Amino acid sequence: MHPYAQHPAVRLRQLAADVGMLAWVVVWVLVARAVHAAVLVLAEPGRAVEDLGRSVAANMGSAADAAERVPLVGDELAAPFGTLADASGSVGGAGQSAQNAVGTLSTVLGVVLVVLPVGWLLLRWLPWRLRYAREAGAARRLLAGTPDLDILAARALATAPLTRLAALPAGTGAAWHAGDPAAMRALAGLELGRLGLRLPEAAPSSR
């Protein structure tokens, strides 16, 4: 495959498009990372709730253990502390669930912010680059060995814009039909110019 043209101006446009695509990807990756970090800040309250619940549960558990050691009424005294320890554990679990939800949201937003804009541009950039590579490769194969300029000339007549065809010398089409080499080279050069490829030098005429 031949991803870049021979003509400097066309090659510069292709390089600019490739660099622009790379810059677009980098920008949206950085944006996604920033959004991911910003959303994760929302997990701080959940982390604080989890820490508070864990701390209270530990304290209530210790209090329940101490109350159980009181003779005769230890079980009755420990029961409220045990209940508070269980409730605090539930609060800590809710805090952990909130953190998990925020983490999932931040990840989804980060992925979406990369996939959507990058995918949108990639669906436009990639077919254009692949199409050029295929067409330029086919044109180079036609130029290999003895150049088959007749096919390139016919392609130019069929697909070139009328403004480009009208800029050719008058009678170029008729001359090509008559087999004139100069007309064939003019039309083939038009097609190769679209691809940013150089027209090979004309073979010297034998006398």
The string of pLDDT tens digits covering residues 4-29 is 888 898 899 999 999 999 999 999 99
Say if residue 127 is in the same domain as residue 101: yes
Measured in residues, the chain has a length of 207
Say if residue 22 is in the same domain as residue 108: yes
- Per the structure block, which two tokens stand in for 15? 């390089």
Query: Domain boundary at 123, 144, 165, which?
Result: 144
Say if residue 140 is in the same domain as residue 164: no
Sign for the CA dihedral angle at 82, 85, 87, 90 comes to: negative
Q: Which residue type sits at 55?
A: S
Write the pLDDT tens digit of every residue in 30-86.
999 998 888 877 767 656 666 656 665 666 666 656 656 666 555 665 566 566 656
Q: Tell me if 80 is assigned to some domain.
A: yes
- Per the structure block, which two tokens stand in for 111? 């992925």
Model pLDDT, residue 74? 55
Say if residue 14 is in the same domain as residue 99: yes
Helices then strands, counting H and E runs in the chain, come out as 7, 0
**CA–CA distance, 134 with 2 (Å, rounded to integer):** 8
Say if residue 96 is in the same domain as residue 106: yes
Say if residue 103 is in the same domain as residue 165: no
Say if residue 151 is in the same domain as residue 204: yes
Residue 126 parent element (H or E): helix 74-143
The domain tally of the chain equals 2
Q: What angle separates helix 74-143 from helix 181-195, to the nearest 10 degrees?
A: 170
Q: Determine how many CB atoms are found less than 10 A away from the CB of residue 53.
A: 21
Say if residue 40 is in the same domain as residue 124: yes
Query: Domain boundary at 97, 119, 144, which?
Result: 144
Say if residue 163 is in the same domain as residue 197: yes
Say if residue 177 is in the same domain as residue 81: no
Would the pTM of this model clear 0.85, i.e. be above it? no
What's the chain's Rg over C-alpha atoms? Answer: 37
Residue 10 parent element (H or E): helix 8-40
Q: Which domain holds residue 160?
A: 146-207
Query: Domain boundary at 120, 144, 168, which?
Result: 144
Q: What is the chain's mean pLDDT, rounded? A: 81
Say if residue 58 is in the same domain as residue 28: yes
